[in-house]
Amino acid sequence: MTILGIETSCDETAAAVVTGDGRLLSSVVASQADLHARYGGVVPEVASRRHLELVAPVIRAALEDADVSLADVGKVGVTQGPGLVGALLVGLSAAKAVAWARGLPLVPVDHLRAHVATLYLEPDPLEPPFTCLLASGGHTLVLSVRDRTGFDVLGSTLDDAAGEAFDKGARLLGLGYPGGAAIDRLARAGDAEAHRFPVARVPGLDLSFSGLKTALLYTVRDLSETELEDRRADLAASYQRAIVHALVGRLRAAAEQTGHDALAVVGGVAANSELREALPEARFAPPALCTDNAAMVASAARFASALPPPGYLALDAYASSL
Among 151, 271, 292, 301, binds Zn ion (CB under 5 A): 292
φ, ψ of residue 283 in degrees (nearest 5): -90, 130
For ligand KG4, which is the closer residue by CB, 197 or 312?
Answer: 197
Among the listed residues 216, 210, 217, 213, the one whose alpha carbon sits nearest the alpha carbon of residue 159: 210
136 near Zn ion, rule: CB under 5 A: yes
Task: Spell out a b/e string for 234-252, using b for 16 or more CB atoms within 10 Å of the CB, else e.
Answer: bbbbbbbbbbbbbbbebbe
For ligand KG4, which is the closer residue by CB, 108 or 180?
Answer: 180
For ligand KG4, which is the closer residue by CB, 91 or 105?
Answer: 91
For ligand KG4, which is the closer residue by CB, 75 or 232?
Answer: 232
φ, ψ of residue 278 in degrees (nearest 5): -75, -15
13 near Zn ion, rule: CB under 5 A: no
116 binds, among ligand KG4, Zn ion, none (CB under 5 to 8 A by kind): none
φ, ψ of residue 26 in degrees (nearest 5): -165, 155
Residue 283 CB burial class (10 angstroms; 0-12, 13-18, ≥19): middle
110 near Zn ion, rule: CB under 5 A: no
Residues at the site binding ligand KG4, with contacts judged by CB under 6 A = 10, 136-138, 163-164, 166-167, 178-181, 184, 267-269, 271-272, 291-292
Nearest-approach distance from CB 145 to ligand KG4, in angstroms: 17
Residue 314 CB burial class (10 angstroms; 0-12, 13-18, ≥19): exposed
Nearest-approach distance from CB 134 to Zn ion, in angstroms: 8
